[in-house]
Structure 1
Amino acid sequence: MSDENDKKPESDPQLAAKIKGSARQIWLAGLGAYTKAEEDTGRFFDRLVQEGEQLENKTRGVVEKQIKSVEDRVGGVRERATGTWDKLEHLFDERVSGALRRLGIHRREEIEALERRIEALESELVRLQGQSRRDEEE
């Protein structure tokens, strides 16, 4: 019976050593694969970061160009709107002034000019009256 027990795989020392050696190789291969994956992951991550930076730089340029384009268009529209608004305001002032003139209402500038003329005439009148009194007294 002992011959039969010796032929069983559980009792074969060489087979056990081979299995143990294979298990160790599998374990070492797993460790190696893990280390390799960790290294590759680091390089892969670094490559992804580089590609992300490149993409960001490309898109930043495009976005900045688009922003500049929009700002230029807005500036152009603003200038046209301001010019149009100024023209409209000037036209409105002319129309209102014309309507007031037709109604016999003078503009502030015209009234102020008339006030200055009246003041000058009053000054001249006072001067002439003073001269006339002196002439009478003589």
Structure 2
Amino acid sequence: MSDENDKKPENDPQLAAKIKGSARQIWLAGLGAYTKAEEDTGRFFDRLVQEGEQLENKTRGVVEKQMRSVEDRVEGVRERATGTWDRLEHLFDERVSGALRRLGIHRREDIEALEQRINALEAELSALRDSSNRDEEE
């Protein structure tokens, strides 16, 4: 029975040493892989940052160009809207003035013109009275 115990793999010192050596190599390979991955990750991260900066620079120009284009369009629309509003306001004024005239209500300019004519007529009338009074006195 002792011969059978000696032949069991658990009792073989060479096999145990080989397994121990293999386990150590696996452990060291794992450490090496971890270190390599850590180095590669740093370089990979730096490369991603660099590519991100390049993309940002490219897109910044495109975005600024688009912003200027949109601002120009907005300005054009604003100018057209202002022109349209001015035309509508003028048309509204004309229509209201026409409606007021038809109702017999005159504009301020018309009333001011009439006041000037009245003042001129009063001045003429006064001049005629003065001249008539002088003629009677003579």
TM-score (norm 2): 0.68
Does residue 54 in structure 1 map to residue 54 in structure 2? yes
In structure 2, what residue type is equivalent to 1:30? G
1:60-116 C-alpha deviation (Å, 9 max, x unpaired): 333332232222212111111110111121122223323433444321122234345
Q: Partners of 1:123 and 1:36 in 2: how far apart? A: 111
Structure 1 alignment gaps of length 5 or more: 134-138
User: What residue in structure 2 maps to residue 82 of structure 1?
Assistant: 82
Task: Give identity over the alignment, percent.
Answer: 89
SS across alignment from 1:46: helix
User: What residue in structure 2 maps to residue 136 of structure 1?
Assistant: none
Shift of 1:41: 1.6
In structure 1, what residue type is equivalent to 2:87? K
Structure 2 alignment gaps of length 5 or more: 134-138
Q: Partners of 1:30 and 1:58 in 2: how far apart? A: 41
TM-score (norm 1): 0.68
In structure 2, what residue type is equivalent to 1:47? R
User: What residue in structure 1 maps to residue 37 of structure 2?
Assistant: 37
Alpha-carbon distance change, 3 to 77 in structure 1, aligned in 2, over 3 angstroms: same
Q: Partners of 1:6 and 1:127 in 2: how far apart? A: 157
Does residue 63 in structure 1 map to residue 63 in structure 2? yes
Aligned residues: 136
Q: Partners of 2:86 and 2:53 in 1: how far apart? A: 48
User: What residue in structure 2 maps to residue 91 of structure 1?
Assistant: 91
Q: Partners of 1:116 and 1:78 in 2: how far apart? A: 42
